Structure 1
């Protein structure tokens, strides 16, 4: 991470991270994380992890994301600051396509993100598992079989 990125406020760091995901720069996105960062998925369905701990594990988890979801835009992103200046709440909608089927992809999210010393330390991702097309699950399952 560059010195400029280290000084980004949590909201700006989050926006930067979303640009990296749209650009399919997973390594760049993972570089925004603290070595001991944690990502949680409170509504994760069966077969998806509810918690991933550590930058290396997050890198493994995200490594094949662009192989399954071609994230193309974040047409809506609103960031709310909290009483804790290190924590933000992001509401967003993403669009793209499912790689395996070329079907459209659209998902709404709410994320609670904490940043310390210019790195993401905690990310709670409240995505809706009912919105995940079956083709994503099938594509992930077939690639690990």
Structure 2
């Protein structure tokens, strides 16, 4: 059972994904964001900042790494959400932007994303993220801060 209070900094993102996928009848099942993922899901970051992994393997690994997000950035809102269905069964493209603040720097955060989501047996099995790591680094002031907060287990 996931305690979503731990992920308050990501609440606008979580809500956006839940709502975007809920609108697609029969695509993904799950009451909440992390419930949508298969246990063996792979989440890829095509432009991963230095010191961060290019992929996360497994639902629990994603949950554990996302716990650290609130130490670096707090999201205020999402915008520009678009959902594209494809001719490939189970593949959906999400386009969106996030807006927030760097926790330690107070700098604004404005990021644009494209995520290609693959769903099999009503669970997300693959998530490929395209976003600009330089935006994150500029907001938090240091590329290693992201690695420490989200991927070091601290």
Aligning the two structures, in what range does the TM-score lie when normalised by the shorter sequence?
0.7 to 0.9
Please point out which of 29, 32, 35 is paired with 1:31.
35
Give the whole-Å Cα distance in 2 for the aligned partners of 1:86 and 1:104. Answer: 35
Query: Higher mean Cα deviation, 35-44 or 129-138?
Result: 129-138
Instruction: Classify the secondary structure of the residue corresponding to 2:62.
Output: helix
List per-residue Cα deviations over 1:4-37 (Å, max 9, x = no partner).
xxxxxxxxx963177xxxxxxxxx4322211010
Q: Quote the residue 1:135 is aligned against.
A: 141
How far is 1:142 from its partner? 6.2
Please state whether the residue corresponding to 1:130 is helix, strand or coil.
helix
Gaps of 5+ in 2: 2-14, 21-31
Change (3 A) 1:72 1:44: same
What is the deviation of 1:99?
Answer: 1.0
Superposed displacement of residue 57, structure 1: 1.2
Which among 75, 81, 84 is matched to residue 77 of structure 1? 81
> 1:13-68 deviations in whole A, cap 9, x for unaligned?
963177xxxxxxxxx43222110100001111211110111111111221111221
Output the aligned Cα RMSD.
2.5
TM-score (norm 2): 0.70
Any idea what SS the aligned residue of 2:119 has?
A: strand
Structure 2 counterpart of 1:6: none
Q: Partners in 2 of 1:142 and 1:50 — Cα distance?
A: 15
Deviations 1:86-141 (A, max 9, x none): 11111111101111122111101111001223321100001111222252635446
Under a length normalisation based on structure 1, what TM-score does the superposition of the two structures give? 0.74
> Aligned partners of 1:118, 1:36: CA distance in 2, in Å?
13
What residue number does 1:98 align with? 102
Whether 1:89 aligns to 2:86 is no
